[in-house]
Amino acid sequence: MQLWGGRFKDKPDDLMKQLNDSFRFDRRLYAADIRGSIAYAGAIARAGLLTDEECQSIIDGLEQVKREFDEGRFDVQASDEDIHTAVERRLTEIVGLVGGKLHTGRSRNDQVATDLRLWLIEQIRAAQSALAVVQAALIDKSEAHLDLIVPGYTHLQPAQPVLFSHWLMSVFWAFERDQERLDDCKRRTSVCPLGSGALAGTPFSIDRAGLAAELDMDVVSPNSMDAVADRDFIAEFLFAASMIGVHISRLAEDLILWSGPGRRFISIGEQYTTGSSLMPQKRNPDSLELMRGKTGRVTGALIGLLTMLKGLPSTYNKDLQEDKEPLFDAVDTLSMVLPVLAGVIGSLVPSPDAMRAALDVGMLATDLADYLVERGVPFRESHSIVGHLVRRAEERGITLDALPLDVLREESPVFDADVAAVFDFERAVARRSAVGGTAPDAVRQQIAQARARLRR
Ligand code: ARG
């Protein structure tokens, strides 16, 4: 059954039909489509367009169609152009001609926009839960290893010592911003287009607010032309998903570096690595490489969608059918990657000896400059004094802490014997106790704050 054949003489060309049909990918919207239709049947019945019996028979029929999909026994017909036509075709087979009343005042344009929104709200919730599991894994790891100090890097160069936990928590906060973006996107997705018709609105007295409430959506769309054209919510979701992807990818890169032969600060659970078919000694961090790699498809989905949208004239155009595959792919990618990431984080085992061995006294040069600052030397001057000392130590082939006090005093008479205390990584970390710093107390405070955020 075709829904729009009335004015046509010729059948669509076979290849045109393949291009046009979206059932093969939009069938996954079936539950949302049927949910929207059940609510719509009630709304048109209340508008006097269906009798109570007709309404009940349509609802029973729709529930049967849903069961057929749920149980994998929905019988697809060649004429099933998309999920909307397929459900209506089957409904009419089950309930007879009255099924044809369901589409009164409705268009696939407001229908598909409603379906996508309903479907995406569920997916956003699922993504948020999966992301929260990753965040919890980060907090647990941080809390378990509050005593470990590692080099902190800028430009990939060792910079200043930090707590391993502080680094782990830095990733937590990036994901927390992603949670906020998803909250925000969920709010703008929870807008009900049903009752907008093809583009101009509905002539029937449909209680749109009641429909939105029944579908658990926050508000109704205020303009029917915008309602059928708007895919901002998909673009926003794809941006939020891309940002999550970018955060995952950067974390994966760090974990690859930190577990690799150069550093060996951590090891990744064997279950998340694979071997080489040729080199027996290899154990490769494929899980992390795949996470880094899959980010490309999510950012690709975002750019593809925006490119599809950018030249569209107002209201619905069939180009919009191309919104689904990138969205589905991004959702599938996230739902596959996030649980693996949580597992990888849980499996991390730190190597305190390797971390300790990588701590280079040079990373305390700032603390040495601060020593002078605390004794009244302006920072610019102390920076240059310590710079000279670094060079002199290098010339002698020794570390900064091995320079004799008289050499230090040649550069500044402010130096005294108590300067020896500066060369202590624990002390350097503990000094950075202002909010957001790497001192153990500041990190504990951060962890408490993070746990509170996660409980919401
Ligand atoms: N399958 C279509 C889509 O995904 C449904 C809307 C069709 N609307 C239309 N006017 N042809 O966008």
For residue 317, give the 3-state DSSP assignment. coil
Q: Could you give the number of structural domains in the chain?
A: 3
- Rg of the chain's alpha carbons, rounded to an integer? 31
Where a domain ends, among 84, 104, 124? 104
Q: What is the pLDDT of residues 274-301, one digit of tens each?
A: 888 888 888 899 999 999 999 999 999 9
Q: What is the pLDDT of residues 412-434, one digit of tens each?
A: 999 999 999 999 999 999 999 99
Across all residues in the chain, what is the average pLDDT?
Answer: 96
Mean pLDDT computed over 338-361? 97
Report residues whose beta carbon is within 6 angstroms of any ligand 1 atom: 22, 26, 82, 108-109, 112, 316, 318, 320-321
Active-site residue, selected from the candidate residues 276, 314, 335, 384: 276
Active-site residue, selected from the candidate residues 37, 129, 145, 155: 155
Q: Is residue 275 part of a domain?
A: yes
Q: Is residue 436 part of a domain?
A: no
pTM of the shown model? 0.95
Where a domain ends, among 303, 327, 357? 357
Q: What is the pLDDT of residues 82-119, one digit of tens each?
A: 999 999 999 999 999 999 999 999 999 999 999 999 99
Percent of the chain scoring above 90 in pLDDT: 94
Substitution candidate for ligand 1 out of 20, 109, 225, 305 with most atoms within 8 A of CB:
109
Q: What is the pLDDT of residues 249-264, one digit of tens each?
A: 999 999 999 999 989 9
- Claim to verify: residue 212 and residue 285 sit in the same structural domain: yes
Q: Ligand 1, residue 316: give the atom nearest the CA.
A: 10
Confidence check: pLDDT of 2 > 70: no
Residue 188 CA to ligand 1 center (angstroms) comes to: 22
What sign results for the dihedral spanned by CA atoms 100, 106, 110, 113?
A: negative
Q: Is residue 446 part of a domain?
A: no
Q: What is the pLDDT of residues 309-333, one digit of tens each?
A: 999 999 999 999 999 999 999 999 9
The pLDDT of residue 12 is 80
- Claim to verify: residue 40 and residue 69 sit in the same structural domain: yes
- Claim to verify: residue 257 and residue 231 sit in the same structural domain: yes
Residue 238 CA to ligand 1 center (angstroms) comes to: 21
Substitution candidate for ligand 1 out of 82, 110, 196, 322 with most atoms within 8 A of CB:
82
The CATH number for 67's domain is 1.10.275.10
For 96, left (φ over 0), alpha (ψ -120 to 50), or beta?
A: left
Range of the domain at 161: 109-357
- Claim to verify: residue 32 and residue 140 sit in the same structural domain: no
Residues 6+ apart with CB under 8 A from 217: 117, 118, 121, 190, 191, 192
Mean pLDDT computed over 380-395? 97
Q: What share of the chain is helix, strand, coil (3-state, %, to 5)?
A: 70, 5, 25
Mean pLDDT computed over 189-198? 98
The pLDDT of residue 103 is 95
The pLDDT of residue 276 is 81
- Claim to verify: residue 344 and residue 365 sit in the same structural domain: no
The pLDDT of residue 1 is 56
Beta-strand relationship, 191-192 and 219-220: parallel
The pLDDT of residue 194 is 98
Nearest protein Cα to ligand 1, atom 2: 321
The CATH number for 396's domain is 1.10.40.30
Q: Is residue 274 part of a domain?
A: yes
Longest CA pairwise span in the chain (Å): 101
Class of residue 202 by CB neighbours under 10 A (exposed 0-12, middle 13-18, buried 19+)? buried
Residue 21 CA to ligand 1 center (angstroms) comes to: 9
Beta-strand relationship, 266-267 and 349-350: antiparallel
Secondary structure element (H or E) that encloses residue 149, with its range: strand 149-154
What whole-number distance in Å separates Cα of residue 349 and Cα of residue 266?
Answer: 5
- Claim to verify: residue 295 and residue 193 sit in the same structural domain: yes
Q: Ligand 1, residue 198: give the atom nearest the CA.
A: 10
Q: Is residue 167 part of a domain?
A: yes
Q: Ligand 1, residue 81: give the atom nearest the CA.
A: 1
Secondary structure element (H or E) that encloses residue 220, with its range: strand 219-220
The CATH number for 347's domain is 1.20.200.10
Q: Is residue 430 part of a domain?
A: no
- Claim to verify: residue 350 and residue 366 sit in the same structural domain: no
- Claim to verify: residue 199 and residue 65 sit in the same structural domain: no
The pLDDT of residue 278 is 82
Nearest protein Cα to ligand 1, atom 7: 108
What whole-number distance in Å separates Cα of residue 124 and Cα of residue 331?
Answer: 9
What would the DSSP string read from start to end of 326-383? HHHHHHHHHHHHHHHHHHHHHH-EE-HHHHHHT--GGGGHHHHHHHHHHTT--HHHHH
- Claim to verify: residue 166 and residue 300 sit in the same structural domain: yes
Residue 23 CA to ligand 1 center (angstroms) comes to: 11
- Claim to verify: residue 263 and residue 129 sit in the same structural domain: yes
Catalytic, 276? Answer: yes
Residue 85 CA to ligand 1 center (angstroms) comes to: 10
What are the tokens at 87? 């459900």
The pLDDT of residue 7 is 79
Q: Is residue 439 part of a domain?
A: no
- Claim to verify: residue 292 and residue 344 sit in the same structural domain: yes
- Claim to verify: residue 298 and residue 236 sit in the same structural domain: yes
Nearest protein Cα to ligand 1, atom 11: 318
Q: What is the pLDDT of residues 200-215, one digit of tens each?
A: 999 999 999 999 999 9
- Whether the CB-CB separation of 169 and 447 falls below 8 Å is answered with yes
Give the position of tokens 């349509």. 58
Where a domain ends, among 337, 357, 377? 357
How distant, in Å, are the alpha carbons of 125, 233, 329 from that of 333? Answer: 15, 18, 6
Nearest protein Cα to ligand 1, atom 3: 321
What whole-number distance in Å separates Cα of residue 155 and Cα of residue 26?
Answer: 45
Per-residue DSSP letter, 11: P
Residue 357 CA to ligand 1 center (angstroms) comes to: 62
For residue 162, give the 3-state DSSP assignment. strand
Q: How many helices (H) and strands (E) does the chain have?
A: 18, 6
60-95 core/surface letters (b: 16 or more CB in 10 A; e: else): ebbeebbebbeeeebeeeeebbbbbbbbbbbbbebb
Residue 313 CA to ligand 1 center (angstroms) comes to: 15
Q: Ligand 1, residue 83: give the atom nearest the CA.
A: 1
Q: Is residue 4 part of a domain?
A: no
